[in-house]
Amino acid sequence: MMIREIFVPLLGTSSDGGALDAALAIAESRQAQVTALVTLQHPMPLVTDFGYVPVEVDQRLLDEERRSAKERAQRARAQLERSAVPSEVRVTDAMALWSEETAAMQALHCDLSVVGKPGVGELDGSPRFSLTFRSLLMRSGRPVIIVPPDATLAIPARRVVLAWKPTPEAARALHESLPLLAGVAEVDVLVIEPQVAEGAYGEQPGADIARLLARHDIRAKVVVQPRMGLSTGDCLLRHVRETDADLLVMGGYGHSRVRDFVLGGATRGVLEELRLPVLMSH
């Protein structure tokens, strides 16, 4: 995959700056453009058995939201213009779509999305982040990089961890991360308690993927780890902490989102405790 257009939906939290910095770092290395989006969401009409019920619009509140959106766009432009990377900041009024749906629609026309994860104290931003991330991952057909608070995406990275299991989601994440692996000093293909069988990981779990990476001139080391009573997400986070990795690459939502929400799932576990940038694909 060639990266020529990077999309950054802005959430109106302190995480926006980190997402823009990460997008700029990638764009500078790949000669790509960065497109940021500020969405002003209007109230949607309620649908009942009797038809549409119009929602009363507070014009004063709407004007304030428009001023806030304009200010956020100006801050984003000022940050982007400090770089020579070609960039654009769009401000859209979402009339018929929720803001996360608007973001996913625009991400369809880009190669990669980057979104910032709000800090723990930014409670207002957390629901919007969750909705935006899921919408980007499930609806855009493009990989998503999540940048947590105070994290920096190094390009090229010093060490990348590829979470591998024989699933379409993991394979897509690996292939879509290839442009970011050029020049990486160390790549770990992490396999957690694999099932050695013809219909699972094969006789040598991770070996085929390491061989594929070698054909892309990427030297990778296969690391097989036991669970030791931990969840998959905890195993991934333990390894990236122990190796001081710069980037984690993994498939997102290998199970249904409902099951992941109720039971926990690796995607949810990693997002809750994330301390480094992660590229996910579905």
For the chain, which domains are there? Answer: 5-147 (3.40.50.620), 159-281 (3.40.50.620)
The predicted model gives 99-120 an average pLDDT of: 94
Lowest mean pLDDT among 33-42, 111-120, 262-271: 262-271
Q: Which of left, alpha, beta for 31 (phi over 0: left; psi -120 to 50: alpha)? A: left
Residue 104: pLDDT band (50, 70, 90) is very high
- Tell me the range of 12-21, 51-60, 91-100, 193-202 where mean pLDDT is highest: 12-21
Lowest pLDDT segment from 81-90, 168-177, 231-240, 263-272: 263-272
Please report which confidence band the pLDDT of residue 78 belongs to, taking 50, 70 and 90 as the band edges: very high
Q: What does each C-alpha distance from 93 to 36, 65, 127, 207 come to in angstroms?
A: 14, 11, 20, 49
What is the pLDDT confidence band of residue 35, given thresholds at 50, 70 and 90?
Answer: very high
For the chain, counts of helices (H) and of strands (E):
9, 12
How far is 271 from 269, CA to CA, in rounded Å? 6
The closest of 206, 157, 151 to 182, measured between CA atoms, is 157
pLDDT tens digits, one per residue of 161-175? 999 999 999 999 999
Six-digit token pair at 82?
């400090």
Measured torsion, CA atoms of residues 212, 205, 268, 5, in degrees rounded to the nearest 10: 0
Q: Which helix (H) or strand (E) holds 184?
A: none
For 129-152, the pLDDT digits (tens) are 999 999 999 999 999 999 999 999
Q: Is the pTM of this model over 0.75?
A: yes
- The whole-number average pLDDT for the span 208-222 is 95
pLDDT at 281 over 90: yes
- The secondary structure of the chain in percent helix, strand, coil, rounded to multiples of 5, reads 40, 25, 40
Average pLDDT, the chain: 88
| CB-based burial label for 140 (10 Å; 0-12, 13-18, 19+) | buried
